[in-house]
Structure 1
């Protein structure tokens, strides 16, 4: 059954389900109809037999009963004298034995019984109504009987119920199939479009239905997903292009310097060449190291969950790095967070390096608490970042035009690593308004109270 459910399409499953439900409803309704009609027919039959008995009793009371009685639309009529003799019967039962031997008990004048397999009615059950008459000389009995009404009442009724049920179930199946098909046609169109979309034509979108229903939501979600996918692929392409350029530059410089020295080995200054090579190798190593750091952050690797003071982390990093001129701090004590000390220290270092490269004379670092959020700000008094480029600076290998000539020491990945680290710690890193220069603000949740 499970395998069959998996193999059937949605159309087939919904059609089968609606057909089964309608079949159950038709079965229930047919049963109610047949039971109701059967009860009505049984009651009508009992009344008809009783009426025939009453007619016979009237005839007996008025005149001597003839030996052959009219049928009165029932199968059996017999009149039994007090001595047990059958003195009158309908034509079919003339000369036949008594159809029953019971009589109404006590003061009752009527008794009903169902008797089966009589010699004159093999494999048949009869509804027998007996009535008692008190006359001089004893009690007379009048028996009226007719075959029991079958459960289906009549073949025509059973055929009508069956045909009606089949037609109703068939109409339900056809209607359900067509309704589900019309509902799923947009899904088929969406599936066909998605199947044709490849990495080279991510600009295509799935068709959106006119009515705003669940299918419309599905199509809209698929299109928005394709928008994000296209943006991600485009970002990866730009990243690959920028990474290849930034990696190729130091490699090309190394190769050029080596080729020049080898062309004139007697005139080469090997010590200065080695120093230049080390500079290029340092840059190459920094780029590769940052790329590996980004890959590790994006892989979702587990991080430490140390409880540390963000203000003390700033002081520690300032003591550890080379002295910086024009650094001002405003550190609020007790700004406790939970996170990886090494990753947060790298984030802080990237922000301070970025500020130091772009500052005219002053770098300001501050920490504070805002509700249940820890805030770290690193600001400089440089040229600043235009509002329309505040997201661009967090892209990989992104450098603003104003910083391309000045920012020669960075790899172009520092702020991207910083933002990814902020996201890993449940926060965010943004560029916010400032009177002068750039102001980068980190917000991450405070550590829970012990």
Structure 2
């Protein structure tokens, strides 16, 4: 469960939603209060007009009673030309005029806000009207309470209450929805936190309520699948590597200890040759491990257009093989490659074929559309279909091969496939009438190849 604090996504989204909702509610409330204020002002003006319509006929028709009915206004006064109050509502009876202003010549009425006019409490909006009489213009003063811009206090309370309620509801809804949406994420996080090296088979729960969360859980599980597979391969690789390293070390130690115990009976030249053979095996394993480490680190390739047929011809002519080599190199086939690494692939395939061939090895190069193909086939016992991918695993040697392949490191074919993949190519074992047929496929280049000097394979 995520804690409620501002840096959390859920808290930030909830606060942001509350702030935005509050701003929207504030704008709507202001518009609402302005509307209610205008309505209240119109109502006050209507009350003033009503008082004017009621009093003016009394003034003109006479006789004007000294006490006027208040109606829906706070006070009414009628002032004659000499400034005397001739009629007023009861609360203004016997008091001086509540105002001393009159409308300008071009207007019939004028209005002002007066605070605490005589006989009235609080601020009032006083409207002055001209009433034309034969002896001159009389003045009619009508007082109503000042109407604020927001109308009534009730409207403010309603707007404030509705705004708080809407803001709280929106924030609560967003908080609840985010909590529901983040629950699967929390479950994934909790499960990942408990997965250790000893239980890599565990997987996070997959929730189907949200497509994005479902995709996240499936991606995490796929990643865990790859991690478990990689860790399994690493453990097997480590076990095999330690075995392949311990075996020659143990043999050399045994030979040296025995030679020291029986120094007079030891054939020192023979023992030295045996120890050197073990050293050569250790050196081979170390070199292959270093090569794999460079390939795993995606070390850059030194590519150049190269004639694959010429490369194969040069390598076959460099060394002598115990088995007969049959070549099929019809013409130039250009590939864009690191010549040293592709030569390493060919050497590994030839070494593997020579260890398992009965009498001959067939090496061929050809082009098929946009693909260059190199095949190395032997006439040995071959490899069953179910083991054709297994032989490319690191430190993997089939039982049948172990008795015959005492000098192999178990890394040659793995290195060859990694080099092929680094060149956007493939290395596979395909069907053949007899023996094993390794097929390397690489993209053909359009540039003309050029011959390069041979380099030592390390």
TM-score bracket relative to the smaller structure: 0.7 to 0.9
CA separation in 2, counterparts of 1:441 and 1:126?
A: 104
Q: Name the stretch that deviates more: 185-194 or 89-98.
A: 89-98
Q: SS of 1:200's equivalent?
A: helix
Q: SS of 2:299's equivalent?
A: coil
Deviations 1:360-405 (A, max 9, x none): 423233142643x544443444443333333212210112234333
Does residue 61 of structure 1 match 2:81?
A: no
> Which residue number in structure 2 is paired with residue 276 of structure 1?
274
Does residue 49 of structure 1 match 2:48?
A: yes
Conserved? CA contact 1:383–1:436, under 8 Å: yes
Give 1:448 deviation, angstroms. Answer: 7.0
Conserved? CA contact 1:330–1:365, under 8 Å: yes
Q: Name the stretch that deviates more: 119-128 or 136-145.
A: 119-128
Change beyond 3 A, Cα 1:62–1:300: same
> Which residue number in structure 2 is paired with residue 308 of structure 1?
306
Conserved? CA contact 1:34–1:152, under 8 Å: yes
> Which residue number in structure 1 is paired with residue 265 of structure 2?
267
Deviations 1:320-341 (A, max 9, x none): 233562332335525131x433
Q: Name the stretch that deviates more: 138-147 or 43-52.
A: 138-147
TM alignment of 1:46-445, pairs within 5 A: 46-82=45-81, 84-94=83-93, 95-99=95-99, 101-103=101-103, 105-106=105-106, 109=108, 111=109, 113-117=111-115, 119-120=117-118, 126-323=124-321, 325-330=324-329, 332-337=331-336, 339-360=337-358, 361-368=360-367, 370-371=369-370, 373-445=371-443
Q: Name the stretch that deviates more: 114-123 or 198-207.
A: 114-123
**Structure 2-normalised TM-score?**
0.86
Change beyond 3 A, Cα 1:379–1:88: farther
Deviations 1:183-215 (A, max 9, x none): 222222222221111111111222222435222
Q: Name the stretch that deviates more: 434-443 or 289-298.
A: 434-443
Change beyond 3 A, Cα 1:51–1:400: same
Work out the number of aligned pairs and report it.
442
> Which residue number in structure 2 is paired with residue 9 of structure 1?
8
Give 1:286 deviation, angstroms. Answer: 0.6
Give 1:232 deviation, angstroms. Answer: 0.9
Give 1:250 deviation, angstroms. Answer: 1.3
CA separation in 1, counterparts of 2:121 and 2:429?
A: 98
Q: SS of 1:143's equivalent?
A: strand
Give 1:101 deviation, angstroms. Answer: 1.9
Give 1:13 deviation, angstroms. Answer: 1.8
- Is there any run of 5+ residues in structure 2 with no aligned partner, and where? 449-458
> Which residue number in structure 2 is paired with residue 25 of structure 1?
24
CA separation in 2, counterparts of 1:412 and 1:206?
A: 36
CA separation in 1, counterparts of 2:440 and 2:121?
A: 95
Give 1:140 deviation, angstroms. Answer: 3.6
Conserved? CA contact 1:53–1:143, under 8 Å: no
Give 1:287 deviation, angstroms. Answer: 0.8
Change beyond 3 A, Cα 1:326–1:313: closer
Change beyond 3 A, Cα 1:99–1:382: farther
CA separation in 2, counterparts of 1:150 and 1:308?
A: 92
**Structure 1-normalised TM-score?**
0.87
